[in-house]
Amino acid sequence: MTPEPIPVRAESMLECRNCGAGAPVDEHFCPNCSRILALGRHGDYFSFLGVPRHLNLDLQELERHFRELSRKFHPDYYYNASPSERLASLERTSYLNDAYRALRNPVSRIEHLLAIEGLPPAKSENGSTGVGQAAPKGPPALLEEVFELNEQLDEIRELRESGANPAALRSRLESARKPIDEKREQHEEQLRQLSEQWDALPSDASPELKRRTLEALRERLLERNYINNLLASIERELAGFVIRDS
């Protein structure tokens, strides 16, 4: 006898296409008939993988969850299933891979947390480093470094065009990179501390406290991304010397 479908509750976001039962969005299989559920609208990689919404995740535990779900969703298991189940296995497998890639990387993990907590992405206004521009935009805390680096790069380019010693100019570029590298190390440490602060928040923490922590994370991440762009600009200048020397 076919079991009676479980009524769809108001808070349910998924409905089994096989039996019509309702299931919470975090369920992967129908609690009524055990068939794989269509993905539907999800958006939270943490809950999808069954791990806490923390920034310092146990990577071995994360991988264990990933491999378990990979086996359960694998399309080979649904070769003779209905078209809707085959589609569901493909959708969930693809989403699982996206979730695992995002959560195993500390930076994309923070970016995903910011997104599901409702904060804007950690990107500069124009997506540019500001290096080489007359009026660079970016995090206010880094404007001094940007202006100083602009001046040094402009001077190095002028010296290079005038035929200055390439080895000496490369040395100047390396020196220009050192304070930026130091800034990056500082921001990595600040991100680590803020990540621990987020994970230590009690479950009943006030929305204001959570918001302050998230905004601090976003600001440090924005600055970190900006610093990496500055370092990439220096690397491009160094690569120019390699091309000319070859």
pLDDT tens track for 39-75: 877 789 999 999 999 999 999 999 999 999 999 999 9
Domain definitions of the chain by residue range = 14-104, 140-245
Q: What is the CATH number of domain 14-104?
A: 1.10.287.110
Task: Provide the 8-state DSSP code for 204.
Answer: T
**Residue 235: predicted pLDDT:** 87
For residue 14, give the H/E element and its range: strand 14-15
**What is the spatial distance between Cα 22 and Cα 108, in angstroms, rounded to a whole number?**
32
Residue-averaged pLDDT of the chain:
85
Q: What is the DSSP string of 226-241?
A: HHHHHHHHHHHHHHHH
Residue-wise pLDDT for 8-49, tens only, equals 334 446 888 888 888 888 899 999 999 999 987 778 999 999
pLDDT at 138 over 80: no
Using pLDDT thresholds of 50, 70 and 90, give the confidence band for residue 112.
Answer: very high
**Residue 193 pLDDT greater than 80, yes or no:** yes
pLDDT of residue 9: 39
Q: Which residues are within 8 A (CB) of 203 and not within 5 positions of it... i.e. 6 or more apart? A: none
Q: Which residue has the higher pLDDT, 157 or 100?
A: 100
CA distances from 188 to 121, 132, 184, 237 (A): 18, 25, 6, 25
